[in-house]
A and B are shown apart, each in its own frame.
Chain A
């Protein structure tokens, strides 16, 4: 015998309600959680969520021109950055025999694609996690 109409209606309501709650919770997570640091999230999202607009970096007349490291340095001063990572093992990536403290950020840190570990081509044991 079929359930009474009111029970069925309640079941549908409950199911829909659960769906709504599930959807809301997903959206809620995405909107309120702080973006994780490290290689899980691309740097363009990290910068965007931190309030940095596209035009802040893409200052050249040609928007698609590569962004020079000087632009990065307006916020990420190279000497201060080198101090910050001075204790990294096995070595400080931001102060090295090749470029001193002036390694071009773009060699490793990509914005619109995954970053890479540019050292590892020659230095196989430099296992940096590059944001």
Chain B
């Protein structure tokens, strides 16, 4: 008969465990010792112990690995203190309470610092004290939303529908948004395995730097959110349809599992999501939300316990209004593409690229940072596109591409959304042209994408008179010409170099062998027969998609991973959703889908707090 073996042997693990129990030392500290001893043998453990002694070791030590990574390597008011004190990457700092952490910030610095403390970041100045005499008015709400865009307006309406008294402060004179398509997953007709497979796919396309838990949160809420957007925007008079799977052909099945989508489409152009959000704001206003336009938020109100109690915003005449927020402030102020110093620091690659949006100065970043929030580590994600110069369905087609110097510069199988990486310098500044000849309809017939025939191409040609459909007429940039030299002039490329480039290209095509750039032979078609066509794409920054650390309720977290009470972050100001070099086009409409979803769920969540 077998007996239960007693663990009385003298193994190191057993002895250590007995000692731990005898001394009643919390588990974390011992785990820390073991890990550092085994994994980091060169660590000066005695230094580590003294540092640990100063901290209270809490029980909530099991931080999500993504969160742990961000608080270690991201930018926060505490981050460089952490690095200096720790040595080894900070494990188990959770014992530090939020208040204690922030109180430790000494002084004298009026600017933010890089995560290693080495650089002073003058684009994040500490908020100036606003004297009481400049505060003209004080108002009180349950929730104050900062920013009336694709995440802020949904947050406000959603909160109002859950019974909250809501204010929205917006720097522009009206709600502002852009794009057309916002996508979610239809849970009822989608395999669970399909969701997991899609998340894995998006993780891969984010260069594995995003937080899969946040992607899952989107996946599980987005279908409901997008349907809600369609329904309510329509009530406000928006022109919107559900395109279902129309744009999601490539991800209808992932790894053999089925997914189905809810895809809101505000259009056709020039009507777009900007108009849709204006319509949604009408519905929000009817539901009792108060909008304050031309009223930029300038700083958060934070009490001595580190809780966010409201926000101060500037009125059009220069005076200030204090907005108290009993349940929370939801920051929805978007990205920082218009803040040159901030871009130079986080995204030097976009230094010479144009911007599509206006006044995105990253106001929410400064506010959240100084409230104790954490900016995602360097390696921010850019979205740099031109869907407007020519047919969107032809944007990735691997015709000959030339730069402004008239030269071929890339293997043209690189898609439009990544082309910016080859056009970063000032001499290129995001400009290139797709070039093809009169035979393109037959010769590119088997290529992925959708060819637009010559009559339809006229829709994108500024030189062609007549009304245009589903475009922004001032942004179209497609041309036809009888000769290559004429085409070059219209495309603003060097004509002499261009003619030589086409000649060289045709030689490669004839040989069936792209010795210069290695493009597959079946993507090599000659440029010989007039008329010659060119689509002059000018890729510019649509958005920057990296931001502040949040948990799964979009509650901002501080430098020890603890929630900052009363502070919520939605839309592109929130972090953890991307992280690759470029915004992935895996899920068409993911950006707006995520904005809508994060606003919708957070408005509802915060409104129901304390209920």
Q: What does the 1/0 interface line of B317-338 toward A look like (CB < 8 Å)?
A: 1100000000000000000000
Q: How far is the CA of A125 from the CA of B194 in the complex (A)?
A: 46
Point out the residues of chain A lying under 8 angstroms from B462, CB to CB.
Answer: 125
Interface of B is mostly: loop
**CB within 8 Å of B: which of A83-99?**
90-91, 97-99
A68 to chain B, nearest CB (A): 7
**Besides the known contacts A70-B316, A70-B317, A99-B174, 13 further A-B residue pairs in the complex with CB atoms under 8 A apart:** A60-B318, A68-B318, A91-B474, A97-B274, A98-B176, A98-B358, A99-B172, A101-B173, A102-B173, A102-B294, A122-B475, A125-B474, A126-B474
A69 to chain B, nearest CB (A): 8
Point out the residues of chain A lying under 8 angstroms from B239, CB to CB.
Answer: none
- Cross-chain pairs A/B with CB under 8 angstroms, 18 sampled: A68-B317, A68-B318, A70-B316, A90-B473, A90-B474, A97-B270, A97-B274, A98-B358, A99-B172, A99-B174, A100-B173, A101-B173, A102-B173, A102-B294, A122-B354, A122-B475, A125-B474, A126-B474
A123 contacts the other chain (Cβ, under 8 Å)?
yes
Q: How far is the CA of A126 from the CA of B316 in the complex (A)?
A: 29
Instruction: Pick the contact of B540: A99, A122, A125 (CB < 8 A).
Output: A122
CB distance A123 to B474 under 8 Å? yes
Point out the residues of chain A lying under 8 angstroms from B172, CB to CB.
Answer: 99
Point out the residues of chain A lying under 8 angstroms from B294, CB to CB.
Answer: 102
Q: How far is the CA of A98 from the CA of B316 in the complex (A)?
A: 18
A28 contacts the other chain (Cβ, under 8 Å)?
no
Which 5 residue pairs are nearest across A and B when measured between Cβ atoms? A102-B173, A123-B474, A100-B173, A100-B174, A98-B358
Point out the residues of chain B lying under 8 angstroms from A125, CB to CB.
Answer: 462, 474
Q: What does the 1/0 interface line of B457-474 toward A look like (CB < 8 Å)?
A: 000001000000000011
**CB within 8 Å of A: which of B101-116?**
none
Q: What does the 1/0 interface line of A66-86 toward B look like (CB < 8 Å)?
A: 001010000000000000000
Instruction: Pick the contact of B475: A68, A99, A123 (CB < 8 A).
Output: A123
With both beta carbons as reference points, the residue of chain B lying nearest to A97 in the complex is identified as: B274
A residues at B contact (CB < 8 Å): 60, 68, 70, 90-91, 97-102, 121-123, 125-126
Q: How far is the CA of A121 from the CA of B540 in the complex (A)?
A: 11
Q: What does the 1/0 interface line of B527-557 toward A look like (CB < 8 Å)?
A: 0000000000000100000000000000000
With both beta carbons as reference points, the residue of chain B lying nearest to A69 in the complex is identified as: B316
A101 to chain B, nearest CB (A): 8
CB distance A121 to B354 under 8 Å? yes
B468 to chain A, nearest CB (A): 12
What is the size category of the interface that chain B forms with chain A?
A: 10 to 19
Q: How far is the CA of A121 from the CA of B475 in the complex (A)?
A: 11
Point out the residues of chain B lying under 8 angstroms from A100, CB to CB.
Answer: 173-174
**CB within 8 Å of A: which of B288-314?**
294
B356 contacts the other chain (Cβ, under 8 Å)?
yes
A34 to chain B, nearest CB (A): 34
Q: How far is the CA of A82 from the CA of B29 in the complex (A)?
A: 68
A57 to chain B, nearest CB (A): 14
Q: How far is the CA of A18 from the CA of B358 in the complex (A)?
A: 58
Point out the residues of chain B lying under 8 angstroms from A68, CB to CB.
Answer: 316-318
A91 to chain B, nearest CB (A): 7
Q: How far is the CA of A90 from the CA of B472 in the complex (A)?
A: 13
B279 to chain A, nearest CB (A): 14
B337 to chain A, nearest CB (A): 13
Q: How far is the CA of A46 from the CA of B50 in the complex (A)?
A: 72
Q: How far is the CA of A97 from the CA of B275 in the complex (A)?
A: 9
B591 to chain A, nearest CB (A): 19
With both beta carbons as reference points, the residue of chain A lying nearest to B473 in the complex is identified as: A90
B395 to chain A, nearest CB (A): 18
B466 to chain A, nearest CB (A): 14
A117 to chain B, nearest CB (A): 13
A18 to chain B, nearest CB (A): 52
With both beta carbons as reference points, the residue of chain A lying nearest to B318 in the complex is identified as: A68
B45 to chain A, nearest CB (A): 57
Q: How far is the CA of A97 from the CA of B177 in the complex (A)?
A: 10
Q: How far is the CA of A121 from the CA of B354 in the complex (A)?
A: 8
A105 to chain B, nearest CB (A): 13
Q: How far is the CA of A119 from the CA of B316 in the complex (A)?
A: 23
With both beta carbons as reference points, the residue of chain B lying nearest to A60 in the complex is identified as: B318
Q: How far is the CA of A130 from the CA of B104 in the complex (A)?
A: 53
With both beta carbons as reference points, the residue of chain A lying nearest to B293 in the complex is identified as: A102
Q: How far is the CA of A125 from the CA of B538 in the complex (A)?
A: 14
**CB within 8 Å of A: which of B379-426?**
none
Q: How far is the CA of A97 from the CA of B318 in the complex (A)?
A: 25
Q: How far is the CA of A90 from the CA of B465 in the complex (A)?
A: 13
Q: How far is the CA of A99 from the CA of B316 in the complex (A)?
A: 14
Q: Which of A68, A122, A123, A126 has the most CB of B within 10 A?
A: A122
